[in-house]
Structure 1
Protein backbone atom coordinates (compact mmCIF):
# COMPACT_ATOMS: atom_id res chain seq x y z
CA UNK A 1 0.00 0.00 0.00
CA UNK A 2 1.25 3.50 -0.85
CA UNK A 3 1.64 5.88 2.04
CA UNK A 4 2.00 9.60 1.75
CA UNK A 5 1.26 12.83 3.58
CA UNK A 6 0.44 14.94 0.54
CA UNK A 7 -2.26 17.59 0.66
CA UNK A 8 -5.51 17.18 -1.20
CA UNK A 9 -6.62 19.34 -4.13
CA UNK A 10 -6.18 22.14 -5.27
CA UNK A 11 -2.42 21.79 -4.83
CA UNK A 12 0.59 23.88 -3.94
CA UNK A 13 1.48 27.38 -5.18
CA UNK A 14 4.91 28.95 -5.64
CA UNK A 15 4.34 31.13 -2.57
CA UNK A 16 4.24 27.98 -0.40
CA UNK A 17 7.59 26.61 -1.61
CA UNK A 18 11.08 27.45 -0.36
CA UNK A 19 14.56 26.34 -1.38
CA UNK A 20 15.68 23.46 0.83
CA UNK A 21 12.12 22.34 1.49
CA UNK A 22 11.75 18.57 1.78
CA UNK A 23 8.96 16.87 -0.14
CA UNK A 24 6.93 14.40 1.91
CA UNK A 25 8.15 10.83 1.40
CA UNK A 26 6.19 8.35 -0.68
CA UNK A 27 6.55 4.63 -0.03
CA UNK A 28 5.34 1.94 -2.38
CA UNK A 29 5.81 -1.83 -2.13
CA UNK A 30 6.95 -3.41 -5.38
CA UNK A 31 5.44 -6.66 -6.59
CA UNK A 32 6.09 -8.66 -9.72
CA UNK A 33 2.79 -7.25 -10.97
CA UNK A 34 4.10 -3.67 -10.48
CA UNK A 35 7.10 -4.51 -12.64
CA UNK A 36 5.33 -6.52 -15.35
CA UNK A 37 2.48 -4.03 -15.78
CA UNK A 38 4.96 -1.14 -15.99
CA UNK A 39 6.92 -2.95 -18.69
CA UNK A 40 3.77 -3.82 -20.61
CA UNK A 41 2.43 -0.26 -20.39
CA UNK A 42 5.64 1.02 -21.97
CA UNK A 43 5.70 -1.80 -24.55
CA UNK A 44 8.99 -3.07 -23.20
CA UNK A 45 8.88 -6.74 -24.13
CA UNK A 46 12.43 -7.50 -22.99
CA UNK A 47 12.29 -10.64 -20.84
CA UNK A 48 14.29 -9.28 -17.90
CA UNK A 49 11.14 -7.37 -16.90
CA UNK A 50 8.78 -10.38 -16.85
CA UNK A 51 10.81 -13.63 -16.95
CA UNK A 52 12.61 -14.38 -13.68
CA UNK A 53 14.71 -17.22 -15.14
CA UNK A 54 15.96 -14.97 -17.94
CA UNK A 55 16.71 -12.12 -15.51
CA UNK A 56 18.68 -14.41 -13.21
CA UNK A 57 20.48 -16.54 -15.81
CA UNK A 58 21.14 -13.96 -18.54
CA UNK A 59 21.35 -10.71 -16.56
CA UNK A 60 22.86 -12.08 -13.35
CA UNK A 61 20.36 -10.37 -11.07
CA UNK A 62 18.15 -11.86 -8.40
CA UNK A 63 14.78 -11.30 -10.11
CA UNK A 64 12.88 -9.26 -12.69
CA UNK A 65 13.33 -5.51 -12.21
CA UNK A 66 11.66 -2.17 -12.91
CA UNK A 67 12.39 -0.70 -16.34
CA UNK A 68 13.28 2.90 -17.16
CA UNK A 69 9.84 4.16 -18.32
CA UNK A 70 8.21 2.63 -15.23
CA UNK A 71 10.77 4.42 -13.05
CA UNK A 72 10.00 7.70 -14.86
CA UNK A 73 6.28 7.21 -14.30
CA UNK A 74 6.81 6.70 -10.58
CA UNK A 75 8.87 9.90 -10.39
CA UNK A 76 6.16 11.80 -12.25
CA UNK A 77 3.52 10.45 -9.88
CA UNK A 78 5.64 11.49 -6.88
CA UNK A 79 6.13 15.01 -8.22
CA UNK A 80 2.53 15.61 -9.25
CA UNK A 81 1.17 14.14 -6.00
CA UNK A 82 3.15 16.93 -4.31
CA UNK A 83 2.24 19.76 -6.70
CA UNK A 84 -1.40 18.84 -7.23
CA UNK A 85 -3.23 18.85 -10.57
CA UNK A 86 -1.78 22.14 -11.81
CA UNK A 87 1.84 21.00 -11.50
CA UNK A 88 3.28 20.60 -15.00
CA UNK A 89 6.45 18.56 -15.40
CA UNK A 90 8.90 20.36 -17.67
CA UNK A 91 12.00 18.18 -17.42
CA UNK A 92 13.01 14.96 -15.75
CA UNK A 93 16.31 13.15 -15.80
CA UNK A 94 17.48 10.35 -13.58
CA UNK A 95 20.15 7.70 -13.19
CA UNK A 96 19.24 4.18 -12.15
CA UNK A 97 22.20 3.09 -10.02
CA UNK A 98 20.80 -0.26 -8.86
CA UNK A 99 17.72 -2.28 -9.74
CA UNK A 100 14.40 -2.38 -7.90
CA UNK A 101 12.97 -5.89 -7.50
CA UNK A 102 9.75 -7.54 -6.33
CA UNK A 103 9.59 -7.47 -2.54
CA UNK A 104 11.40 -4.11 -2.34
CA UNK A 105 9.67 -1.06 -0.95
CA UNK A 106 10.53 2.08 -2.91
CA UNK A 107 10.90 5.21 -0.79
CA UNK A 108 10.76 8.43 -2.77
CA UNK A 109 12.30 11.59 -1.36
CA UNK A 110 12.86 15.03 -2.78
CA UNK A 111 14.17 18.46 -1.92
CA UNK A 112 13.57 21.81 -3.54
CA UNK A 113 16.88 22.95 -4.99
CA UNK A 114 15.83 26.24 -6.55
CA UNK A 115 12.83 28.39 -7.45
CA UNK A 116 12.66 30.74 -10.43
CA UNK A 117 10.16 32.81 -12.37
CA UNK A 118 10.77 33.16 -16.10
CA UNK A 119 10.08 36.20 -18.31
CA UNK A 120 6.60 34.86 -19.14
CA UNK A 121 5.72 34.68 -15.43
CA UNK A 122 5.91 30.90 -15.16
CA UNK A 123 7.01 29.69 -11.73
CA UNK A 124 9.59 26.88 -11.85
CA UNK A 125 10.72 24.55 -9.09
CA UNK A 126 13.92 22.52 -9.51
CA UNK A 127 13.94 19.31 -7.48
CA UNK A 128 16.57 16.77 -6.45
CA UNK A 129 15.00 13.32 -6.16
CA UNK A 130 15.89 9.85 -4.92
CA UNK A 131 14.39 6.39 -4.79
CA UNK A 132 15.77 4.30 -1.93
CA UNK A 133 15.21 0.73 -0.83
CA UNK A 134 16.06 -0.12 2.79
CA UNK A 135 18.03 3.12 3.07
CA UNK A 136 20.13 2.42 -0.03
CA UNK A 137 19.75 4.94 -2.87
CA UNK A 138 18.83 3.07 -6.04
CA UNK A 139 18.00 6.01 -8.32
CA UNK A 140 18.85 9.72 -8.26
CA UNK A 141 17.16 12.36 -10.33
CA UNK A 142 16.43 15.98 -11.05
CA UNK A 143 13.18 17.54 -12.20
CA UNK A 144 11.90 20.93 -13.22
CA UNK A 145 8.21 21.47 -12.64
CA UNK A 146 5.97 24.48 -13.25
CA UNK A 147 3.63 25.37 -10.40
CA UNK A 148 0.95 28.04 -10.14
CA UNK A 149 2.00 31.40 -8.75
CA UNK A 150 -1.36 31.71 -7.01
CA UNK A 151 -4.63 29.74 -6.93
CA UNK A 152 -5.87 31.41 -10.15
CA UNK A 153 -2.72 30.59 -12.16
CA UNK A 154 -2.46 27.39 -14.21
CA UNK A 155 0.79 26.37 -15.94
CA UNK A 156 -1.24 24.04 -18.19
CA UNK A 157 -2.73 27.05 -19.99
CA UNK A 158 0.69 28.30 -21.12
CA UNK A 159 1.40 27.77 -24.80
CA UNK A 160 4.28 28.32 -27.22
CA UNK A 161 6.89 30.77 -25.99
CA UNK A 162 5.04 31.04 -22.68
CA UNK A 163 5.90 27.38 -22.07
CA UNK A 164 9.67 26.90 -22.16
CA UNK A 165 10.87 24.38 -19.59
Structure 2
Protein backbone atom coordinates (compact mmCIF):
# COMPACT_ATOMS: atom_id res chain seq x y z
CA UNK A 1 0.00 0.00 0.00
CA UNK A 2 1.26 3.45 -0.98
CA UNK A 3 1.79 6.10 1.68
CA UNK A 4 0.90 9.77 1.31
CA UNK A 5 4.49 10.74 0.59
CA UNK A 6 5.25 8.20 -2.14
CA UNK A 7 4.66 8.64 -5.83
CA UNK A 8 2.41 5.88 -7.10
CA UNK A 9 0.66 4.91 -10.30
CA UNK A 10 -2.70 6.23 -9.12
CA UNK A 11 -3.55 9.78 -10.22
CA UNK A 12 -3.67 12.47 -7.55
CA UNK A 13 -6.68 14.74 -7.13
CA UNK A 14 -7.09 17.51 -9.72
CA UNK A 15 -4.72 20.37 -8.93
CA UNK A 16 -2.12 18.13 -7.30
CA UNK A 17 1.19 17.22 -8.89
CA UNK A 18 4.53 15.73 -7.90
CA UNK A 19 7.58 17.75 -8.84
CA UNK A 20 11.32 17.85 -8.29
CA UNK A 21 13.26 21.02 -7.74
CA UNK A 22 16.66 20.72 -9.31
CA UNK A 23 17.96 22.95 -6.54
CA UNK A 24 19.36 26.43 -6.73
CA UNK A 25 22.73 27.72 -7.82
CA UNK A 26 23.85 27.97 -4.21
CA UNK A 27 25.13 24.94 -2.33
CA UNK A 28 22.52 25.06 0.44
CA UNK A 29 19.66 23.96 -1.80
CA UNK A 30 19.74 20.38 -3.07
CA UNK A 31 17.41 18.69 -5.52
CA UNK A 32 14.26 17.58 -3.75
CA UNK A 33 10.77 16.22 -4.19
CA UNK A 34 7.65 18.30 -3.57
CA UNK A 35 3.93 18.05 -4.09
CA UNK A 36 2.09 21.13 -5.25
CA UNK A 37 -1.58 21.24 -4.25
CA UNK A 38 -3.84 23.83 -5.87
CA UNK A 39 -7.52 24.51 -5.21
CA UNK A 40 -9.47 27.03 -7.20
CA UNK A 41 -12.52 29.05 -6.26
CA UNK A 42 -14.28 32.07 -7.72
CA UNK A 43 -12.23 35.21 -7.25
CA UNK A 44 -8.88 36.29 -8.58
CA UNK A 45 -5.21 35.94 -7.82
CA UNK A 46 -3.01 33.43 -6.05
CA UNK A 47 -2.80 32.78 -2.32
CA UNK A 48 0.05 30.69 -0.94
CA UNK A 49 -0.83 28.79 2.23
CA UNK A 50 2.80 28.15 3.24
CA UNK A 51 3.87 30.54 5.95
CA UNK A 52 6.33 32.01 5.37
CA UNK A 53 6.03 31.67 1.61
CA UNK A 54 9.31 30.59 0.05
CA UNK A 55 10.75 33.37 -2.13
CA UNK A 56 11.94 31.03 -4.92
CA UNK A 57 8.56 29.28 -5.05
CA UNK A 58 6.68 32.60 -5.07
CA UNK A 59 8.70 33.64 -8.11
CA UNK A 60 8.03 30.36 -9.94
CA UNK A 61 4.34 30.62 -9.09
CA UNK A 62 4.20 34.20 -10.39
CA UNK A 63 5.75 33.06 -13.70
CA UNK A 64 3.26 30.19 -13.91
CA UNK A 65 0.28 32.49 -13.24
CA UNK A 66 1.44 35.03 -15.85
CA UNK A 67 1.86 32.28 -18.45
CA UNK A 68 -1.55 30.82 -17.61
CA UNK A 69 -3.20 34.21 -18.15
CA UNK A 70 -1.23 34.94 -21.34
CA UNK A 71 -1.90 31.51 -22.87
CA UNK A 72 -5.28 30.69 -21.37
CA UNK A 73 -6.92 29.82 -24.69
CA UNK A 74 -4.22 27.27 -25.53
CA UNK A 75 -4.02 25.78 -22.02
CA UNK A 76 -7.55 25.79 -20.62
CA UNK A 77 -9.81 26.73 -23.52
CA UNK A 78 -12.66 29.17 -22.86
CA UNK A 79 -12.10 29.40 -19.09
CA UNK A 80 -10.85 32.72 -17.73
CA UNK A 81 -8.06 32.25 -15.17
CA UNK A 82 -8.55 35.84 -13.96
CA UNK A 83 -11.94 34.85 -12.54
CA UNK A 84 -10.38 32.14 -10.36
CA UNK A 85 -8.55 32.40 -7.07
CA UNK A 86 -5.86 29.77 -6.66
CA UNK A 87 -4.99 28.56 -3.18
CA UNK A 88 -1.59 26.89 -3.32
CA UNK A 89 0.33 24.74 -0.87
CA UNK A 90 3.86 23.43 -1.43
CA UNK A 91 4.72 20.28 0.52
CA UNK A 92 8.38 19.23 0.81
CA UNK A 93 9.18 15.53 1.23
CA UNK A 94 12.93 15.58 1.85
CA UNK A 95 15.84 17.84 2.70
CA UNK A 96 15.25 20.47 0.00
CA UNK A 97 13.38 23.45 1.42
CA UNK A 98 13.61 26.39 -1.02
CA UNK A 99 11.18 25.26 -3.71
CA UNK A 100 13.16 26.73 -6.58
CA UNK A 101 12.48 26.17 -10.27
CA UNK A 102 8.99 24.66 -9.96
CA UNK A 103 7.20 26.86 -12.52
CA UNK A 104 6.22 24.15 -15.02
CA UNK A 105 4.67 22.00 -12.29
CA UNK A 106 2.85 25.03 -10.82
CA UNK A 107 1.42 25.88 -14.24
CA UNK A 108 0.24 22.30 -14.87
CA UNK A 109 -1.23 22.13 -11.37
CA UNK A 110 -3.25 25.33 -11.89
CA UNK A 111 -4.50 24.05 -15.26
CA UNK A 112 -5.43 20.72 -13.69
CA UNK A 113 -7.35 22.52 -10.95
CA UNK A 114 -9.35 24.71 -13.35
CA UNK A 115 -10.09 21.82 -15.71
CA UNK A 116 -10.91 19.49 -12.78
CA UNK A 117 -8.75 16.82 -14.43
CA UNK A 118 -6.01 14.77 -12.79
CA UNK A 119 -2.62 14.33 -14.35
CA UNK A 120 -1.34 10.86 -15.19
CA UNK A 121 -0.49 8.72 -12.16
CA UNK A 122 3.22 8.24 -11.52
CA UNK A 123 4.06 11.51 -13.28
CA UNK A 124 6.67 13.85 -11.87
CA UNK A 125 7.18 17.25 -13.50
CA UNK A 126 10.50 19.09 -13.58
CA UNK A 127 11.45 22.52 -14.86
CA UNK A 128 11.12 26.26 -14.68
CA UNK A 129 9.18 28.46 -17.06
CA UNK A 130 10.14 32.09 -17.61
CA UNK A 131 7.88 35.09 -18.17
CA UNK A 132 8.17 34.69 -21.94
CA UNK A 133 6.91 31.11 -21.76
CA UNK A 134 10.20 29.36 -22.48
CA UNK A 135 11.21 26.33 -20.46
CA UNK A 136 14.64 26.77 -18.91
CA UNK A 137 17.27 24.03 -19.42
CA UNK A 138 17.70 21.50 -16.60
CA UNK A 139 21.29 21.41 -15.44
CA UNK A 140 21.51 18.00 -13.73
CA UNK A 141 18.93 15.86 -15.51
CA UNK A 142 20.55 12.49 -14.67
CA UNK A 143 20.50 13.20 -10.92
CA UNK A 144 16.89 14.35 -11.15
CA UNK A 145 15.84 11.24 -13.11
CA UNK A 146 17.55 9.01 -10.55
CA UNK A 147 15.78 10.80 -7.68
CA UNK A 148 12.43 10.48 -9.49
CA UNK A 149 12.86 6.72 -9.94
CA UNK A 150 14.02 6.33 -6.34
CA UNK A 151 10.84 8.08 -5.15
CA UNK A 152 8.55 5.89 -7.28
CA UNK A 153 7.87 7.98 -10.38
CA UNK A 154 7.15 6.06 -13.56
CA UNK A 155 6.99 9.05 -15.94
CA UNK A 156 9.06 12.28 -16.06
Q: Is TM > 0.5 for Structure 1 vs Structure 2?
A: no
Please report the TM-score for the alignment, with normalisation by the length of structure 2: 0.28
Please report the TM-score for the alignment, with normalisation by the length of structure 1: 0.27
Higher RCO by CA contacts (8 Å cutoff, separation 6 or greater): 2
Higher strand share: 1
Question: Highest Rg: 1 or 2?
Answer: 1
